[in-house]
């Protein structure tokens, strides 16, 4: 991700942040980090994980309705967050709204067709759609 963009001294949005695993790492360099998570229990866990990090906040929300103002984010990180795929257009429209001009959206998904993780995934789920 660092080869694509820098988040140093910028505002990062982690969309679908889950338990907030990635938030502390972003917080080391970013000016501000906002986690958005629709599941209340996960949002609470993410808040607990980051409670001592003054530049991190964790909000309840979805990709389709991001609780942030227009043009307020420099870098979005959406890792294996389930709103992509068919029907994801409202989430993409929200990305366009909240990201400042020149910002970057990093959308990361797992490739279910290879790797150790892919083998586990294929055993448990129907064949994944091509990326
Ligand atoms: C596999 S977890 C990944 C969590 C986190 N991104 C990570 O990498 O640790 C998928 C996450 O996507 C969130 N999610 C599902 N639908 C979403 C939506 N419409 N908008 C935002 N997040 C969503 C889930 O609540 C869950 O926290």
Answer with the residue of higher pLDDT: 87 or 8. Answer: 8
pLDDT at residue 50, as a whole number: 98
pLDDT at residue 131, as a whole number: 58
Q: Is residue 5 part of a domain?
A: no
Classify 99 as helix, strand or coil.
Answer: strand
- State whether the beta carbon of 84 lies less than 6 angstroms from ligand 1: no
Tell me which H or E stretch contains 13. strand 11-15
- State whether the beta carbon of 37 lies less than 6 angstroms from ligand 1: yes
H helices of 21-100, where? 23-27, 40-49, 89-98
Domain containing residue 60: CATH number = 3.40.50.150
The overall longest dimension of the chain from CA atoms, in Å, is 42
User: For a substitution probing ligand 1, which of 1, 12, 15, 16 has the most ligand atoms within 8 Å of its CB?
Assistant: 16
Q: Is residue 129 part of a domain?
A: no
Q: Report pLDDT digits (tens) over 114-125.
A: 888 888 888 887
Do the bridges between strand 11-15 and strand 99-108 make them parallel or antiparallel, or are there none, so unpaired?
unpaired
Q: Is residue 4 part of a domain?
A: no
Cα gap 80→55, rounded to integer Å: 24
Q: Is residue 113 part of a domain?
A: yes
User: For a substitution probing ligand 1, which of 81, 91, 117, 124 has the most ligand atoms within 8 Å of its CB?
Assistant: 81
Quote the radius of gyration of the chain (alpha carbons, Å): 15
| Residue nearest atom 24 in ligand 1 by C-alpha distance | 16
pLDDT at residue 87, as a whole number: 83
Beta strands in the chain (DSSP E): 11-15, 32-37, 56-60, 73-79, 99-108
Q: Which domain holds residue 81?
A: 11-124
User: How many domains are there within the chain?
Assistant: 1
- State whether the beta carbon of 16 lies less than 6 angstroms from ligand 1: yes
How many CA within 13 A on the CB side of residue 54? 0
Q: Is residue 18 part of a domain?
A: yes
Arithmetic mean of pLDDT, 87-116: 90
Q: Report pLDDT digits (tens) over 75-84.
A: 999 998 876 6
Q: Is residue 2 part of a domain?
A: no
Q: Is residue 55 part of a domain?
A: yes
Answer with the residue of higher pLDDT: 31 or 114. Answer: 31
The pTM of the full predicted model, rounded to 2 decimals, is 0.92
Q: Is residue 130 part of a domain?
A: no
């Amino acid at each position: 991700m660092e080869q694509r963009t820098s988040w140093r001294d910028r505002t990062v949005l982690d969309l679908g942040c889950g338990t907030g695993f990635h938030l502390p790492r972003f917080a080391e360099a970013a000016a501000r980090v906002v986690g958005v998570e629709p599941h209340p229990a996960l949002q609470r866990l993410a808040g607990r994980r980051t409670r001592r990090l003054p530049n991190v906040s964790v909000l309840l929300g979805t990709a389709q309705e991001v609780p942030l103002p227009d043009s307020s984010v420099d870098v979005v990180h959406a890792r294996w967050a389930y709103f992509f795929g068919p029907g994801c257009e409202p989430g993409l429209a929200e990305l366009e709204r909240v990201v400042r001009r020149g910002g970057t959206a990093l959308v990361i998904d797992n490739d279910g067709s290879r790797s150790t993780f892919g083998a586990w995934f294929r055993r448990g789920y129907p064949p994944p759609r091509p990326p």
